[in-house]
Amino acid sequence: MPLETPARIVSELASRGYNAEREAVTRIADTRDPSATLERALETLPDEALKLTTDHVESVVKATESAKSEPDTKPNSETETPGAPTQPHPSVSTGTDAPTSTEPGTPAPPETGGSRDVDTSLRAIEVANDMTGQSTGTGEYSDFVSVFRDRYEKLASKLRGRVNHRPTDAIENMGGGSDAALIGMVSDIRSTASGHWLVELEDTNGTFPCLVMKDRPIADLVQQLLMDEVIAVEGTLADDAGILFVDSLYFPDVPRTHSPSTADRHVQAALISDVHVGSQEFMEDAWHRFTDWLHTAEAETVEYLLIAGDMVEGVGIYPEQDEELDIIDIYDQYRAFSEYLKEVPGDMEIRMIPGNHDAVRLAEPQPGFDEELRDIMSAHDAQVHSNPSLVTVEGVTVLMYHGVSLDEVIAELPDEEASYEEPHKAMYQLLKKRHVAPQYGGHTRLAPEDRDYLVMEEVPDVFHTGHVHKLGWGEYHNVVALNSGCWQAQTEFQKSVNIDPDAGFAPILDLDTLDMTVRKFS
């Protein structure tokens, strides 16, 4: 089948045992026939090569172009017109694609469709940190060592300029009473009989105990710590040099001087999550009102739709879920979601990541959908990236993360630091730690890969999550943090755990100013 997106190209390469440079994948995707270009590139690749390089792809493209006696100007009769830009998929189902069933869970064909008067040539979108098709973890002990070492090195690099770091083994050989600083991963936190805090930090050389006295101003920061996050401390060694009395504690954090990027024209993005198609509580009417509004003149500048996971309700996610399903089969749920997606204007660019209800592995990072689901999710050529992914839209970097770790952050930290009623504050903590899921071994399942895809190596301009079904947004060091609510009314399971969802809201972000407007459709 045609390789229409870079993710599909990566997946195809991985299935054949090849890696590729990112620029090589992009170059293939930009050609007239990506599938044919990929085949020619692999046919001419040396037998011993395991990676497809940009130079090799360029040579294949140039050879193909020079071999043509005259340019191919014949338009595709279905999608192209000479001299006209390629149009996105239409937003109305036609022919055999139109739904004919009126059974529960099957939406009716949208009455409004087509594209608005939008100049799509001005658009610019890039994706980084997408590990779809690049999973290497086998679950071996060495894999976990590698990913935690990678986490430590990346986050330690953000702290070394702030303290005069010494490895644990070097500190052990220092004299008592010496000033010392250490960058380490939190391996243990406990309170002493006197109410002080003993924090054990681990680096690549060993572990060292650090004591935070309860009467120090930094004592409150200890209550914000999670296991396995990376911090830096400064202080003085005890007389016997066996423990470090901490005077200062630092997180990797977002610099206070962070200056976010903005678009150079007035353009907006709708940021939503947790649609949950297939649930009896999916708010179909609210969705129709939302998509109807997208066709109005008022929404003319909303050119992007970013969905942060849980497109469908899924199957077997929680006890007795089957009693609350409107659509039993997981593939039928995605078919229904694809039909609902067709109500969105055809000229909108749609990017999505999976969540814990979607049909991918639960362990994070979660890869994008496999080919079967991508075939089903064909509306608008909506692209599905991994969870998390860094999507740059018109120069604005949006870190999209579904948000399962928010449950753990809210459970572990004090209410004033993280709560379901103010989910953006829990997101502030993740920004401070520069990691979307720092704690291993809890409710958030983590998969070992060749590197830690969950580290926030780059400071995003916008941090977009979902999962907790609560609406909240704010700014942390000039980063917009948004949890976008959901499109599912309260389920019986949510009642049992006292979750009152914020449903039917669509946050609209001005990419040129980073101002937020939240519209209610419920």
pLDDT at 183: 97
CATH class of 3-62: mainly alpha
Classify the C-alpha dihedral 138-144-145-149 as positive or negative.
Answer: positive
| Separation of alpha carbons 236 and 229, rounded Å | 22
What is the rounded CA–CA span in Å between residue 405 and residue 411?
10
In the three-class reduction of DSSP (H, G, I as helix; E, B as strand; rest coil), residue 172 is classed as helix
pLDDT of residue 211: 96
Residue 86 pLDDT level (bands cut at 50, 70, 90): very low
CA distance 189 to 98: 58
User: What is the residue extent of each domain of the chain?
Assistant: 3-62, 125-132+257-520, 161-250
What's the DSSP call for residue 488?
A: B
Residue-level pLDDT at 386: 96
Q: What percent of the chain has pLDDT over 90?
A: 64
The closest alpha carbon to 208, from 217, 197, 195, 199, belongs to 199
At residue 99 the predicted structure's pLDDT band, cuts being 50, 70 and 90, is: very low
- pLDDT (tens digit, 9 = 90+) per residue, 402-440? 999 999 999 999 988 999 999 999 999 999 999 999 998
β pairing state of 179-191 and 197-203: antiparallel
**Fold assignment, 125-132+257-520:** Purple Acid Phosphatase; chain A, domain 2 (3.60.21)
The pLDDT tens digits of the residues spanning 121-144 come to 667 889 999 999 888 878 888 888
Q: CB-based contacts of 164: which residues, under 8 Å, 6+ apart?
A: 181, 234
Cα atoms in the Cβ-side hemisphere of radius 13 Å centred on 224: 22
Which residue's structure tokens are 């100007």?
73
Helix (H) or strand (E) holding 141, with range, is helix 141-156
Q: What is the mean pLDDT of residues 156-178?
A: 92
> Quick check: 101 pLDDT over 70?
no
- The larger pLDDT score, comparing residue 473 to residue 21, is at 473
Q: Which of 29-38, 136-145, 306-315, 470-479 shows the lowest per-residue confidence on average (mean pLDDT)?
A: 29-38
Buried b (16+ CB within 10 A) or exposed e, 200-232: ebbbeeeebebbbbeebebbebbebbbbbbbbb
In three-state secondary structure terms, 516 is strand
Please give the DSSP secondary-structure letter assigned to residue 455: B
pLDDT greater than 60 at residue 283? yes
> Does residue 85 carry a pLDDT above 50?
no
Token pair for 124: 């610019």
- Which helix (H) or strand (E) segment holds residue 247: the answer is strand 244-250
Contact in structure between 301 and 267 (CB atoms under 8 Å) = yes
CA 446 to CA 438: how far, in whole Å? 10
Q: State the pLDDT at residue 321.
A: 85
What is the structure's pLDDT at 459? 97
User: Does the pTM of the predicted model rise above 0.95?
Assistant: no
Per-residue pLDDT for 510 more than 70? yes
Amino acid, single-letter form, for residue 104? P
CA distance 386 to 401: 9
Which pLDDT tens digit goes with each residue over 185-203? 999 999 999 999 999 999 9
Say yes or no to pLDDT of 113 above 70: no
Give the angle 148-152-154 at the CA atoms, nearest 5°: 115
Please name the residue that has the structure tokens 């000039």.
478
CATH code assigned to 161-250: 2.40.50.140
d(CA 254, CA 421): 24
